[in-house]
Amino acid sequence: MNEMSKITGAADTSMKMTTDPDWWRGAVIYQIYPRSFQDSNGDGIGDLNGITQRLPYIAELGVDAIWISPFFKSPMLDFGYDVSDYTAVDPMFGTMENFDAMIERAHDLGLKVMIDQVISHSSDQHAWFKESRASRDNDRADWYVWADAKSDGTPPNNWLSIFGGSAWQWDTGRCQYYLHNFLTSQPDLNFHNMDVQRALLDSVRFWLDRGVDGFRLDTINFYIHSRGLEDNPPLPPQERNNSIAPEVNPYNHQNHLYDKNQPENLEFLKRFRALLDEYPAATAVGEVGDGQKGLELVADYTSGGNKVHMCYSFDMLSTDLITPRRIREIVGGFEKAAPDGWSCWAFSNHDVTRHASRWSGHFSDQTGFLKMAVTLILSLRGSVCLYQGEELGLTEAQLAFEDLQDPYGIEFWPEFKGRDGCRTPMAWSHNAEHGGFSISKPWLPLASEHSDLAANAQDGDSESLLNHYRQSLQFRAGQIEFAKGDIRFFGEDENVLTFERSHNGMRIFCAINMSESDVTIDAPAPDFTRLAAPGKTGVESGNQLKLEPFGTYFARSPQLANGGETV
């Protein structure tokens, strides 16, 4: 395949799909936000045919799977995360035939396909909710979370919506409140009703029968609320974590003991897993949104082999800069909490400020930092999610208020500008109008600073970030220890993260300088042989190892270490 074919979407090869039921363990998953990936019909909005057009680019990147954010029928008040029909494609994105063609092309290229499942809530335009709100005694009256007002007419309790204000909305038809953890147009489904669970699992089966390989489960810890509807207690200021909601959002002021994170959720996840197990190699990754118990919940939801395969928390999606200490705390902490569980790590996604802006501003060599960051995440134990455009180093776009689309940003502007800045269109071509994303004005403006970072501008540059991603993914794919192995951290250095990955008698020593200074550390034992890894490679000098700023070093030994604790 020539260089330009990677960008334009031409392809001349195909690969057979594997049926390894364990493919997800250590897989690298590329997240596609379909509205902003590629517009194929000139309406300024990305679509399924656009995804199909760009699949060879993704395959050439070297990932194992794609995750597609919602494309289901929706009024789009939360841009697809408010589903009005779980088994229909929204005409904005195309047709079911377009979806079938996309999944066939992905499989031809050796890519697994995962899709979002937004089942904690639906749109208020869903037929289920329309029936539920019609009366208190119809067949679906209890399919959503309804409650009477207090005697003074106020909501049943103090629960808050992430998008601002009370989590309860008054309905004049039933003269009751309904629960919504997000927009008022996103009523929460009642998972205490087994008919609801069965209906949702039927919608999951629909897509499995259509050939999807797995699911990303939106807000997986929000599925079930406490039947008692108890007030959430306050959270002391020193314990507030702003990884889930911005500091200006009062949602952070509560300890969310009763509106989410309920133990009954484990039983539903077991039913969900039992369904997936009927389909060879089907998998799921859950999004755990919690500022206090994120890693604990990931451990609970992925342990035992009978719930979801993997989850991700917001610990590495927060504004806190990644450092050796922080990586040891997060990854090491999870491994100790759930040695048989599995996490999926991500630095960016469609809900948070891109990490090229969140972190690299701390350093003068921002590209060097971003190269180190992807080397790091691909070396850790767990699976990995990469967000579209991070391989180009796309920064958070700065939008004017009049350009905002995200209701979250509009509500909390200007202190919090919402999620639009990480959702602007992909930059495919530096010399094409609208970056090659569309021939028309895009739904969100393309950031001018992204033009020089476009895929075609980086494609032929061997030192570009895009090619470093390609090389790093190829390097990871050649070392089974990275995908499947255990991990053990060494030392407490504040600048260098040192650890070991081991699998079936083989082990790799890893050293990553996460600082912008030259450092010297102890070299590994003589039986280790250096691996040819992309990026700045450390230099051995006697029993010392010298690492440049953001330099890395990997070496393999055929011998398992004696002693030490594998975490």
- What's the CA gap between 502 and 486, in Å, rounded? 5
Are 496 and 521 in contact, with CB atoms under 8 Å apart? Answer: yes
Q: At what angle do helices 294-302 and 265-276 cross, to 10 degrees?
A: 50
Neighbours of 440 (CB within 10 A): 14
Q: Identify the residue whose tokens are 């990997």.
A: 554
Helix, coil or strand: residue 465: helix
Neighbours of 20 (CB within 10 A): 10
Told to judge if 218 belongs to the known catalytic residues of this protein, a careful annotator would answer yes
The sign one gets for the Cα dihedral 39, 40, 44, 45 is: negative
User: Which two three-digit tokens encode residue 415?
Assistant: 């202190």
Q: At what angle do helices 465-477 and 48-61 cross, to 10 degrees?
A: 70
Read off the amino acid at residue 275. L
User: Which two three-digit tokens encode residue 301?
Assistant: 């939801």
Is there a cis peptide before residue 414, judged by omega within 30 degrees of 0?
yes
Are 39 and 45 in contact, with CB atoms under 8 Å apart? Answer: yes
- Name the catalytic one among 39, 82, 218, 335: 218
- Name the catalytic one among 278, 402, 415, 492: 278
Q: Give per-residue burial for 335-365: e unless 16+ CB within 10 Å, then b.
A: beebeebbbbbbbbbbbbbbbbbbbbeebee
Task: Please write down the long-range contacts of 8-12, taking CB distance under 8 Å and 24 or more positions apart.
Answer: 9/53, 9/54, 9/55, 9/56, 9/57, 10/56, 11/55, 11/56, 11/59, 11/109
Q: Identify the residue whose tokens are 């669970």.
A: 197
Are 554 and 531 in contact, with CB atoms under 8 Å apart? Answer: yes
Strand 283-287 and strand 486-490: pairing? Answer: unpaired
Helix, coil or strand: residue 299: helix
- What's the CA gap between 50 and 543, in Å, rounded? 53
Helix, coil or strand: residue 137: coil
Task: Please write down the long-range contacts of 319-325, taking CB distance under 8 Å and 24 or more positions apart.
Answer: 319/242, 319/243, 319/353, 319/358, 320/243, 321/359, 321/362, 322/347, 322/359, 322/373, 322/376, 322/514, 323/494, 323/514, 324/493, 324/494, 324/495, 324/496, 324/497, 324/514, 325/492, 325/494
Neighbours of 133 (CB within 10 A): 22
Residue 4: is it exposed, middle or buried by C-beta count within 10 angstroms (0-12/13-18/19+)?
exposed
β-pair partners for 215? 115, 284
User: Which two three-digit tokens encode residue 99?
Assistant: 């979806």
- What's the CA gap between 170 and 160, in Å, rounded? 14
Catalytic positions: 218, 278
